[in-house]
Amino acid sequence: MTEEEIAKISQSCFHGCPTIVLGSGASMPHGLPSMGELSTYLSENMKTEGDAEDDAWLLVKVALANGDHLEAALEGKTLPASLVSKIVSLTWRCVNEKDMQLLDAAAQDGNFALGGLLANMFSSTHSEVHVVTTNYDRVAEFACNSRNVLFQTGFAPGYIQTWESTGRVKLVRGAKAARVVKIWKIHGSLDWFRTADDRTIGLPVFELPSKDNYTPLMVTPGLNKYEKTYEDPFRTTINGADAALKAASAFLCVGFGFRDQHIHPKLIERCRERNVPTVVLARTLTEEAKDFLKNKAGTNYLGIERSGTGSKVYSHTCPEGADVPMPDLWSLDGFNNLVL
């Protein structure tokens, strides 16, 4: 493929005001842990108690040792509630440690490719941009802050944030409704908690509150993913994400592995209906991502990953991929250079 052909599809995606889908690969350039790093952290820090926890965790460790990714290692296993609670707490601590470091870096220089992209998307008449993410971290929120872009995650603003599922909270600038990035965090967030009296609140904290009073609201890979979705804030968040995906006029997927059944089917459905421009960026495209591009993304797509010569680009006319001498094209910075 030529640079001109790559730029043409990228520009059509950008000008379509894409719904942005972020996976763990979008956060890793900022120092957040990969799924593999999270697996290692859990293995090294898990302290089981009693036969039930010992036996259940052994099954997970064996699956990881056999090469399963974390979601596959946890999926379909019946784990004691006490062990699930430990997995959630350790996951929170692993991600939060790096998230806290990122906040410090963000406060100093605020260099986020996502922030630049979002700010430029509002340079037209668009009043809303939708970001759907499986990540618990606050990379998307920090990116918005870096460019003075307002965002909503479903909670009313404040230090102690209340869950607001009615849509009555509106952000305004002057007399007009503000332009807002709506961030749909379908697996929860580091700052979402359930209280001991069963309330849902947001606390902008970087230390885990007392486990007796606050439980992190995070759906961990492979565990209780579907039963949790019947409860708020997940139910409303997933409904909002579904609506954004179903109405999308374009998709930009960054570091998303196409393994999440909350998102993946909606992307396929929309591409089948409208053949919308779709760009998938990743350091290494998963086999699931390649299958989506080749068989389910329609004809108006680009998949870009890193290669030895620069980048490898997949398209409808080149479904097996072609190396191009354009370094960093697979990154969001590289995408920005093409479209901004």
Q: What is the pLDDT of residues 283-293, one digit of tens each?
A: 999 999 999 99
Confidence of residue 167 (pLDDT cuts 50, 70, 90): low
pLDDT band at 259 (very low <50, low <70, confident <90, very high): confident
Q: Is the pLDDT of residue 158 over 80?
A: yes
Residue 112 CA to residue 118 CA, distance in Å, equals: 10
In whole angstroms, what is the distance from residue 32 CA to residue 36 CA? 11
CB 137 within 8 A of CB 103: no
Q: What is the pLDDT of residue 178?
A: 81
Domain ranges of the chain: 3-31+111-339
39, 305 contact by CB (below 8 A): no
- Is residue 166 predicted with pLDDT exceeding 70? no
Q: pTM surpassing 0.95?
A: no
pLDDT over threshold 90, residue 188: yes
pLDDT at 34 over 70: yes
Is 175's pLDDT higher than 80? no
Predicted local distance difference test score (pLDDT) of residue 168: 65
Does CATH place domain 3-31+111-339 in 3.40.50.1220? yes
For residue 210, pLDDT beyond 80: no
Beta strands in the chain, from DSSP E residues, in sequence order: 19-22, 128-133, 150-152, 161-162, 172-173, 176-177, 180-185, 188-195, 200-202, 214-218, 251-254, 278-281, 301-307, 310-315, 318-324
Q: Span 294-301, mean pLDDT?
A: 95
Indicate the residue type of 13: C
Query: Which of 307, 300, 296 lies closest to 331 in space, CA to CA?
Result: 307
- Mean pLDDT to the nearest integer, 252-276: 93
Q: Is the pLDDT of residue 227 over 60?
A: no
